[in-house]
Each structure stands twice: as structure tokens, then as C-alpha cells.
Amino acid sequence: MLSRLVTGLDRARHRSVVVSMTGQGAVGPLLTSAGIELHTLDMRRGMADPRGLTRLTRILRRVRPGILQTWLYHADFLGVLAQLWGPPFALFWNIRCTESIGADRVRRLLSWCSTRPDGVIVNSLAGQRFHEQIGYRPRRWEHIPNGCDASLFRFDGTARVNLRRKLGIPDGAVAIGLPARFHPMKDHANFLAAAARLAAVRPEVVFLLIGSGVDRSNRALTEMTEAHGLVDHVRLLGECDDMVSVYSALDIATLSSAFGEGWPNVLGEAMLCHVPCVATDCGDAAEILGPTGMVVPRRDPEALEAAWQALISMGPGARRSIGAEARNRIVCSYDLRAIVSRYDALYSEFFEERCLHQGPAQRRFGRSAGTVLPRRSVRS
């Protein structure tokens, strides 16, 4: 979403500079090829490195930004430190999740510091509620959900036929996909337990698992697949650059997460490709799907299997109709251009208010100073 935001903003109005706390990541080359200025602090994961703060402060003194917008917890904390040591700027935090593993200490620090930023942006209402419960008390909450590019994500009939043929999926088979990296929050165990239940009564069903770490080299995943007797039903695709083809090949998309989700991009992308979705009640999944999808309790494979059964029983025609409604819902409520415009409006509102309260000498560092967006890494 960071990449989509900075490449979508009107550059005549807002200059964006991205600072990654680690390296370039997968998205770094995309940013630089789009003409976005990118810096890396080259901090090692899991290790406190004061040199990162020194490097960031040096960048801030050169760029003189009007706004420092930080993404994810560690960047939020680094932003607070930079506010103490760097040049004057406004600070906006950006929260992208609800609960997460191993972040209790930094979250506690941030809750104590949560009055310092000028505002806290959340991409999900669930994320705002969670952080309010643990003590976040910012001066201002701003809810801006993720946006999806409707011109990029759309159903491709030719790609559907080609990929299903390549994967050996018969024309009449129902393909259910889980687009998610291998991580405890995505709960592949829940998905596979539900898949085993469904395959026992519908042997024609096929399951596509897509994402980082989701391939045959993942011993834990292959052992789970074998234990459930799903070897002939599961296709492990790993990371995929052409997600439009994957979504188009699916009959049902699923997100089986147990915790941590904010605004899952995969739901919006699948919906734009006319795919009906089933998701666990995690993050803002229910808000995203609305009446065009099905939401089930977390860690409940029986409920997940029942939802799949309901969609399969509807038949392909009804699923296509639901898929069309799903696309329309994303286009109307979460179109990328509209979401970028909301960030633009927030930045513009801040600059206009600041100019009203500053003298002429201070205004020279206004909108032209640009925006710096550091985050833990530039990977999406």
C-alpha cells in the first residue's frame, strides 16, 4: 500500500521520499523505477542500532520534510526518537494491523508515547479498537483503509483456462485458494483441517496455496498436507508475480487468519477479479466483504468447511453473480484512486492549518518540503 500511495500521489502537490529501516526489499526497485527517492538505513532485524537513527536524522535534515509518516511499530518508535533529535516536522504514525506476535514491548512503549504524533492513521477499524484497548491515546485518529487498483485486478478468462490446465485442474472442479505467506497469523493449519473435511465429501475439490514459504521446500506445510491426506488435492504455488491469473483460476478465495489482520489486500484483489470470498472474522474482513462474502469464526475448521459447502452448493452461475457484486463493492468503496485522494486531503489539510498558525519565515518549509515515509521494510 505504501508503494501504491507514493506512486499515486500528485507529485506536483506532494513530494514523497521513502526511507526503509532495513534494505530495499522487493518493492524498492519498483519505487526507484517510478522515480521515487528511496533511502535505506540498513538496520539488521531484531537488533537495536543507534546508527539507524543517525542516518535517518541526517536524511531529515537534508530533506526538511513537512511530515514524517511512519509505517509499522518499529518505524513509529524511530519517528518519535527522530522528532527529539531531528529538524521540526509533523509526525503521523500508520497502524496496519491488530494484535501481532512478539511486539508487546514496543507496543507498550508506543502506547506511552501515543500523544506525541500529530495523528495516527489506521487502515482498519478493528486496528483502532485494539490499540485503544491497549492504551493508545493519540490527538487524532484517521481511518483510511487500503485501496485496490480496479484497472489492474480484473477477471481474465484466458488466464483462468491456462493456469487451471497447467495445474491439472479439471473444468468441473472447484478451486479454493488461500493467498497468504506461511506465518502463524495466516493459520494454514485451520485451512488444511477444513480442506480435509471438504475433500472427504467432495473429492473433486482442489486447493491452491500461494505465498512466501508456501512450496514443497516447506517441510512443516508438506507434512500437514500429507497428514490430512490432501497430497492429491493441494497445489503449492509459492510466491507468484501474476496474481490476476491466480485469482481468475479460483472459484472461491479464502483468508483463514487467526489474528493480526488489518485490511487484508488479498480480499479486495480477489473480489475485483469476481471471486466470492470466505474469511475468518479477523481485522476488517467483515467490513470489506459485506453481503458479498461469508465470515466465519477464527480457528473453526468446521465453520470454514460449511461456508465452502454453501458457496459450492450455489453453483457456478450464482457464484459468478456474487463475484460481480463483490467487484462492484470494492470499486465503490475501496478504489485506489479514492484512497490516495484521502491521504492527499489529510496532508493538504495539515499544511493549510499549519500555514494559518505560522509566520512567513516558517512557511518556507511548508508543502514543498515533502513527505518522508519510513517503515520497517518496503516489502508489502
**pLDDT band for position 351 (cuts 50, 70, 90):** confident
Q: Global pTM? A: 0.90
pLDDT tens track for 76-124: 999 999 998 888 899 999 999 998 877 888 999 999 999 999 999 999 9
Query: What's the rounded mean pLDDT across residues 337-357?
Result: 87
Structural domains of the chain in order of their starting residue, each with its CATH number:
2-147+335-375 (3.40.50.2000), 157-333 (3.40.50.2000)
Q: Which of 291, 304, 377 is nearest to 43 (CA)?
A: 377
pLDDT in tens, 19-66: 999 999 889 999 999 999 999 999 988 767 788 999 999 999 999 999
| Cβ neighbours of residue 164 closer than 8 Å, sequence gap 6 or more | 171, 175, 249
Average pLDDT of the residues of the chain? 91
Please tell me the predicted confidence (pLDDT) of residue 364. Answer: 33
The percent of residues in the chain predicted with pLDDT above 70, rounded, is 92
